[in-house]
Amino acid sequence: MDRKFQNIVNQLCKSEQEIVAKNKIDNLEKLIPLLLKRVPYQNSDELIKTIMEALRPSMPENEDDEFNNLFEKLTVNPKLIFESKTLDEIKSLIDKRVTNDKKNLIKKTSDVSSFITSMKTELDEAISFSGTSSKAIHDMKEQIVTVNNECDKDLLNEFKEQLINISTNIENEMCKVTANLKDRTEKISELQKQIDSLEGELKRTKTESKTDYLTGLLTRRAFDEESDKFESRFVRDGDKFAVVFFDLDHFKKINDKYGHEGGDVVLYTFAKILDKGTRKTDILCRYGGEEFVALIHYKDKKEVIGYVNRVKTIIDSNSFVYNQNKIKVRFSAGISFREENKNFKDSLRHADDKLYEAKESGRNQIKY
């Protein structure tokens, strides 16, 4: 193995070096197939955003600086995502996030546990006192029953004092129980607010996991769930729908010229135009990077083609604005109709093929 080739091998990750040694790869020609399996660096931006999105919702406040520093570092140099040191940082942040989540959950549930324990103690005391008072009253009743009509005044006074003492004790204990219950009622109100807050946080986290952080459209995972519903209605009721793929043409050039912030503005604006022009009964998803997909109900295929053309007219006749720069955006689209395919996966694949055909034919086209 010559020195130049060895230098190349030394730059590979540990697992790749193990493959080189195991397969006795000793020249560049044999190494090429291994290198081709690597994730392209141009895809690393999406990988970074996905990882950061997964970490952000539950990130402890005291870890924000560490989190932001890592995100900024990866944004400047995406290649760092594949270095072992970076992976260790990500693992560390994940561990801290999980630990923090556990602490928050324990803290928010401990009050409930303490309250239940306290209430049990109060009820036990009330029950115990009630039992004691009932016995005292019962004993006194027994004494009264045995008294004949000729009992003396001293005995009656003694009964009177006992009755006064018992009633006083009952009154004092009831005041105490009432005060405790009032205090517990306020505590219940407090706990209810905490529970409502916790439920809100869980609902927000669930919503975030289904919504793309930049565009507000469905994520790929949420799209898979919703597409299953479309497919079920198609199979059960014959509800026809089309799959439409949109892909922004030459988006990399926009990113290179205006930076990621400019690219994000374009993606956000394009998503809003799609959302405004799409019925609520249909669904939209950011499928990946600058690629979007829509599932559109229809009775006549012309409705779907008309929908895509309306979007195209809006995009073609307007410019996107970023930092006073007017950016012209064009897109390619591929359409497939579910009824013309064996299953949903075939329909999805067919739409993707049509999109590829549109881009290969010069872009800025709609193919179906």
Tens digit of each residue's pLDDT (9 = 90 or more) over 19-44:
888 888 888 777 777 776 665 555 56
Distance CA 358, CA 368 (A): 9
Spatial contact of 333 and 366, defined as CB atoms under 8 Å apart:
yes
pTM: 0.49
Q: Rounded to whole angstroms, how far apart are CA atoms 60 and 291?
A: 32
pLDDT at 351 over 90: yes
Percent above pLDDT 70 for the chain? 68
Burial of 125 (0-12, 13-18, 19+ CB in 10 A): middle
Task: Write out pLDDT tens, residues 302-316.
Answer: 999 999 999 999 999
Provide the residue ranges of all domains of the chain, joining segments of one domain with +: 39-210, 220-367
92 versus 108: the higher-pLDDT residue is 92
Architecture per CATH, 220-367: 2-Layer Sandwich (3.30)
The residue with greater pLDDT, 114 or 5, is 5
| Cross-strand bridge partners of residue 283 | 295
Q: What is the pLDDT of residue 301?
A: 94
Confidence of residue 12 (pLDDT cuts 50, 70, 90): confident
Q: What is the pLDDT of residue 222?
A: 86
CA distance 80 to 140: 86
For the residues 90-98, what does the mean pLDDT come to? 77
Q: Which of 16-20, 83-87, 202-206, 245-249 holds the top average pLDDT?
A: 245-249
Asked whether the beta carbons of 13 and 79 are under 8 A apart, the reply is no
Q: Which amino acid is at 14?
A: K
- Residue 134 tokens read as 């009932």
What average pLDDT does range 231-242 have in this prediction?
94
Coil vs helix vs strand at 151 = coil
Where is pLDDT greater, at 247 or 208?
A: 247
pLDDT one-digit tens code per residue, 115-141: 666 666 665 665 565 556 656 666 655
Please, is 333 exposed, middle or buried when counting C-beta atoms within 10 Å of its C-beta (0-12, 13-18, 19+)?
buried
Least confident of 28-32, 216-220, 287-291, 358-362: 28-32
pLDDT of 108 strictly over 90: no
| Vertex 74 angle, CA 86 and 96, to 5° | 50
Phi-psi region of 238 (alpha: psi -120 to 50; beta: other; left: phi over 0): left
